Amino acid sequence: MTNNITLAKGALNITVNTISITENSKNLISFIRPAQSKDNQASGPKEPKMIDLLMITRSFLIRGMITGTDSKTAKQIRDELRDLATGASTAGGNIVMTYDGESINGGIEGLTIIEDSTDFDTLTAGQQAEVGQYDVQFTFMAGTAI
């Protein structure tokens, strides 16, 4: 079971009921391939030299669902999530994602929203909470806005 996440920026505060969270770290490593001369070709290729500048990016692929709350409909929350992803409704700066007790600054790189085809209005409140009205998938990139 995954932990739900919250995304906050300015007055916007959104909870995503997570289905899965995939955390990725990528380190950009550069390689220098030493030149071979005609005189040392017989000894075979030289081993490349590695340069590790610790240029690490951290990203999270999040799959989840949005449901309404006592104070907001699922559509309002969907629109707020879209606003966070596109930079609308809020001044510049970071989105803060809270995941597993950690607050992580960053931004949303890509967002997919799928409306559930279930006749949502015919479900009880408990069923609605289990089904979710919108499925979402997005990539959250950790970093600081400049």
The pLDDT tens digits of the residues spanning 25-42 come to: 999 888 888 887 777 777
Q: What is the pTM of this model?
A: 0.76
| Rounded CA separation 59/52 (Å) | 19
CA distances from 130 to 22, 48, 61, 101, 118 (A): 22, 53, 21, 23, 12
Q: Which of 126, 113, 46 is nearest to 84 (CA)?
A: 113
Q: How many CB atoms lie within 10 A of CB 99?
A: 20
Q: Domain extents for the chain?
A: 5-27+57-142
The pLDDT tens digits of the residues spanning 32-76 come to: 888 877 777 777 778 889 988 888 999 999 999 988 888 888 888
Residue 74 phi, psi (nearest 5): -60, -35
| Rounded CA separation 118/143 (Å) | 37
